[in-house]
Chain A
Amino acid sequence: MTQAQQQVMKIKVEYYGILREVCGCHAEEVAFDDRGEATVAQVLAQLVARHPGLSQHRRYIACARDAELCADDSVLHDGATLALLPPVSGG
């Protein structure tokens, strides 16, 4: 496969609450070379590698896409936006 043919899939990640402090931004991109899809768990694994501080929050983080919560095994495609939601404290 030539470089021009190689697929790079990008997922936009949005952080909320304390995760904005942990990761130092409100949003960023995650890229996967040469594949058309990735699970939520795979995206989270890449983010934990990038931001080691995320690891202690990992089990408490819920993920959402298009205003719906989604499970770790949900499949994401190129251009998807994934919201990372830490424990909520409204009211």
Chain B
Amino acid sequence: MRLVTAEISVDRALRAAADPRAGAVVMFSGIVRNHNEGRLVQSITYTAYAPLAEKVLADIEQEVYAKFDVIKCIIVHRVGQLEIGDSSVLIVVSSVHRPEAFVGGRYAIEEVKHRVPVWKLEEYTDGTHSYVKGCSLNERHHIEAGDIA
């Protein structure tokens, strides 16, 4: 299960990425922050189209193995209502030497942000909320401000 509702366990991910051959482990954690584009964020609710999200997360792990000389690649994405400071996504990559772990991890998070069917609903301190503009799975580009009124 790469899509989870409970708090992401850093320890479990690090254990899963451990290997006697690994001389490097790189971890990326995406964190819910208290502001975005000038607005004060109270929380973020993540939703997903789970069947495809699980599949794409697994695909991205396999691509990291195929493209980079890494030993383990673990990707976990959380859904549900997250508070400030919570981790929404965790990527752990281990490799013999550090360059492969860094580049593999960077590849993984960029692909997650562009391809996994997950949506962020930002809830603001003033009681309003808004879906974050994202990346179309049709055209693979970011929606610019003004494209959608």
Contacts and interface: CB of A to CB of B under 8 A. Distances in A.
Interface in A1-40: 14, 16-18, 21
Given A57-B148, A87-B143, A91-B88, A62 B116 contact: no
Contact of A69 (B52, B109, B112): B52
Interface string A68-91: 110000000000000101111111
Contact of A60 (B46, B114, B116, B138): B138
A21 B133 CA distance: 14
Interface residues of B, number: 38
Interface in B43-76: 46-49, 51-55
Given A56-B149, A90-B53, A91-B116, 19 more contacts: A16-B48, A16-B49, A17-B47, A17-B121, A60-B139, A60-B143, A64-B117, A67-B55, A69-B52, A85-B117, A86-B136, A87-B134, A87-B137, A87-B142, A88-B136, A89-B132, A89-B134, A90-B89, A91-B89
Interface of B: 30, 46-49, 51-55, 77, 88-89, 109, 112-121, 131-139, 142-143, 147-149
